[in-house]
Amino acid sequence: MVTISIDGREFEAEEGQTVLQVAREHGIDIPTLCHHEAIEPYGACRLCIVEITKGRRSRIVTSCLYPVEEGLKVQTKSPRVISNRRMLVELLLARCSKNKVINELASQMGIEKPIVRSEYLEDNDCIVCGLCVRACEQVVGVSAISLVNRGITKEPASPFLEPSRACIGCGSCYYVCPTDAIKMEDKGDTRYIYNWKVEFKLKKCKVCGNYWAPERQLEYIRKKWNLPADFFDICPTCK
Ligand code: SF4
């Protein structure tokens, strides 16, 4: 165990934990967009920055990636943190000026308009945090999408921007997206994921008749776990 201080309060923490984990365990709020407990941290959105002090030196780090160590002093709301975080949100607002989540974040910080508004920057809901890509790879194990291009044109996409052949339609990318940038819809017996240009037939429950999950996703799970052919004939509600 190590002892660290966050905003002047001392806490015991386990070696290997990150500053963000310890802060959250103790109810200390640090904003994040690209963090998800089931997915390896990546530090993409950088909103979780904190100021750490070791000896006489202090610096800004991303708390989702920074491991605790004995005697570490952490400030989550120092003037330097607030000013840096504010600039990050202003930049996000420049890219996603109509996005509800980003606008709410900006208004909580008293930001009324973006720091820049590039006429070359198409308004977007995606903050390019890559959480969808990491969820697909690490949680689903499919890697149907990736981050493509560079600079302001970087985006998550299916290979060659064609309908993704590897996608199983599970919707994990849609559920983890912090800014609702992934558009998914279940209509009748079909699921559409517009970002990856794919559609999937949904399985109909033999008891209630509801369409409840993509057939391709269920087949993927059935094969992976060697389940009987009729295992998914009945939906979880009716089982
Ligand atoms: S819906 Fe497709 S792209 Fe999204 S996580 Fe599932 S397999 Fe990956």
Per DSSP, the residues of 173-237 read: HHHH-TT--S-EEEETTEEEEGGGTEEEEEEEPTTT--EEEEHHHHHHHHHHTT--TTTTSS-TT
Given this model, what pLDDT does residue 2 score?
95
Rounded CA separation 54/31 (Å): 23
Asked if 178 and 192 count as a contact pair (C-beta separation under 8 A), the reply is no
**Which DSSP category does 108 fall into?**
H
- Expressed in angstroms and rounded, the spacing between residue 158 Cα and the centre of ligand 1 is 10
pLDDT band, very low/low/confident/very high, at 152 (cuts 50, 70, 90): confident
Kind and range of the H or E element at 58? strand 57-62
Given this model, what pLDDT does residue 117 score?
65
Q: Please check the confidence at residue 72 and state whether its pLDDT lies above 70.
A: yes
Buried b / exposed e over 42-63, threshold 16 CB at 10 Å, is: bbbbbbbbbbbeeeeeeebbbb
Given this model, what pLDDT does residue 25 score?
96
pLDDT digits (tens, 9 = 90+) for 164-189: 999 999 999 999 999 999 999 999 99
For residue 135 and ligand 1, the question of a CB distance below 6 A is answered with: yes
pLDDT digits (tens, 9 = 90+) for 196-226: 999 999 999 999 999 999 999 999 999 999 9
Rounded to two decimals, what is the model's pTM? 0.91
Rounded mean pLDDT of 52-63?
Answer: 93
Rounded CA separation 9/77 (Å): 13
- Expressed in angstroms and rounded, the spacing between residue 133 Cα and the centre of ligand 1 is 8
Task: Kindly state the tokens that stand for 99.
Answer: 């996005």
Residue 90: φ, ψ to 5°? -60, -40
For residue 198 and ligand 1, the question of a CB distance below 6 A is answered with: no
Given this model, what pLDDT does residue 228 score?
95
pLDDT band, very low/low/confident/very high, at 120 (cuts 50, 70, 90): low
Q: Please check the confidence at residue 122 and state whether its pLDDT lies above 80.
A: no
Given this model, what pLDDT does residue 118 score?
59
pLDDT band, very low/low/confident/very high, at 45 (cuts 50, 70, 90): very high
Least confident of 15-19, 103-107, 113-117, 234-238: 113-117
For residue 170 and ligand 1, the question of a CB distance below 6 A is answered with: yes
Rounded mean pLDDT of 217-236?
Answer: 96
**Which DSSP category does 161 fall into?**
G
